[in-house]
Amino acid sequence: MNLNRFSPYAAVVLRLAVGAVFLHHGLMKLQNFEGVTGMVRGIGFPFAPVFAAILTGVETLGAVCVILGVLTRIWALMMAVDMVVAILGVVLPHGGVPELEGMLLAGSLALVALGDGPLSIGVTLKKGSA
């Protein structure tokens, strides 16, 4: 049995997993935007409400786009940056171990390399414009 034929679908599985976790965290941020703004201010970012909105947007709108396979590489790159900031600005300074953040960083970087995968709106749109 040649399992390599399933390799293109790895991006789909990864998109769904990474996107779902980011979406969950993004929706939690939407419910407590003041707290997110305070956290962003606490790690030293100027214009905390603006950066909190960007963070929340990446973790909600970006997650939905990744799940659907729309501009996956761009959103995944923003998610990777999000995780680098989380690891360096929040987790490590508080003595934490960045297990989840590290996995999300790795998954995001893999999606930057893999792109949408075969089952995505992005691929459907590309085929329709060809």
How far, in whole angstroms, is CA 19 from its chain's centroid? 6
pLDDT at 118 over 90: no
Query: What confidence category does residue 124 fall into, taking pLDDT thresholds of 50, 70 and 90?
Result: low
**In whole angstroms, how large is the CA radius of gyration of the chain?**
16
pLDDT at 2: 78
Q: pLDDT at position 127, please?
A: 61
Mean pLDDT of 82-99: 95
Task: Report residue 128: phi and psi, to 5°.
Answer: -70, -25
Which tens digit of pLDDT belongs to each residue from 93-105?
Answer: 999 999 999 999 9
Helix (H) or strand (E) holding 102: helix 99-114
Average pLDDT, the chain: 91
pLDDT digits (tens, 9 = 90+) for 66-80: 999 999 999 999 999
The Cα–Cα gap between 114 and 26 comes to: 23
- Position 108 scores a pLDDT of 98
pLDDT tens-digit profile of 47-58? 999 999 999 999
